[in-house]
Amino acid sequence: MPDFAPSITRLIDELKHLPGIGQKTAQRLAFYLLRTDREQALALADAIREAKEKIRECSVCNNITDTDPCFFCTSATRNKKTICVVEEAPNISAVEKTREYNGMYHVLGGALSPLQGRGPEQLKIKSLIERLKGGTVEEIIIATNPTAEGEATAVYLSKLIKPLGVRVTRIAMGIPVGSDLEYADEVTMMKAMEGRREL
């Protein structure tokens, strides 16, 4: 590795901690930042600092928020009878984009993944069960990712929640809109068959 000034090396090292950024990309980004004007570069540093200082987890749903409880948990117009369970906070915006859902959320903080040392204890499952105890919630929509881990998590949750008398549903999985059945593998096709509905 070529020798850079210590402050550049430090910047490169910090950038390398970001996901998907290796040595080369980190160098490119570092030199890009050094070339841009001072205000612009400092605006980035400022944005990072402000976000880190103000943003925290919602104490109810674990969403990322700058007010606690978060926007969804305090909104008077949202339907408190349904909770949509997602793996990570950014998944909420994917559901919100549909404008079809007006209920509450719960962020698990990942999916069950033994290989990453994530068991039920490591996920925010206890607090979800706590939220069901008031009797307000009638339906849990499980919107974990359509992966082996996401499916395992969905099944695990449904086994836990159904005995409490709460309806548990899973978002439909299967053939993406605009694709061709010919290219669907058997698992995708099977999930699509399982999730079929009356027309």
Partner 1 sequence: MPLHETEAIVLQSYPLGEADRLVSFLSRSMGRVRGVAAGARRPKSRFGSTLERMSYVRIWFFERETRELVRINQCELIESFVDVFKDYAAGVALAVMAEVTEAVLPDREAGDPSFRLLLLSAQAIKRHMEIDLPLAYFALWTVRLGGWLGSFERCARCNKQLAGIPAYASRAVSGVFCGNCRGTGMKAISPDALNAGVKMLADRLDKIEASNIPKTALRELSRYSLDLIEHQIERKLVSREMLETAV
List residues binding partner 1 (CB under 8 A): 19-20, 112-117, 119-121, 146-149, 151-152, 155-156, 176, 178-179, 183-188
Nearer to partner 1, 84 or 151 (CB): 151
What phi and psi, each to the nearest 5 degrees, are found at residue 49?
Answer: -65, -45
Is the link from the previous residue into 2 a cis peptide, with omega within 30 of 0? no
61-100 footprint of Zn ion as x/- string (CB under 5 A): x-x-----xx--x---------------------------
Q: State which residue, 164 or 187, has the beta carbon closest to partner 1.
A: 187
Q: Which does 61 bind (CB under 5 to 8 A by kind): Zn ion, partner 1, none?
A: Zn ion
Question: How far is the C-alpha of 15 from the C-alpha of 197, rounded, in Å?
Answer: 47
Q: How far is the CB of 39 from partner 1 (least distance, A)?
A: 28
Identity of the residue, 8 or 152, whose beta carbon is nearer to partner 1 in the bound complex: 152
Residues 22, 14: contact at Cβ < 8 Å? Answer: no
Q: Which is nearer to partner 1, 29 or 155 (CB)?
A: 155
User: Beta strands of the chain (E only): which ranges?
Assistant: 56-57, 64-65, 79-86, 103-107, 139-142, 167-170
Least distance CB 105 / Zn ion (angstroms): 7
Are the CB atoms for 153 and 147 separated by under 8 Å? no
Site string for Zn ion, 19-58 (x = CB under 5 A): ---------------------------------------x
| Centroid of chain to Cα 36 | 32
Told to check if 108 binds Zn ion by CB under 5 A, we report no
Location of structure tokens 């939220």: 131
CB of 188 to partner 1, least distance (A): 5
Q: How far apart are CA 67 and CA 74, in angstroms?
A: 10
- CA-nearest of 191, 19, 164, 167 to 85 is 167
Q: Which of 45, 120 has the CB closer to partner 1?
A: 120
Residues making contact with Zn ion (CB under 5 A): 58, 60-61, 63, 69-70, 73
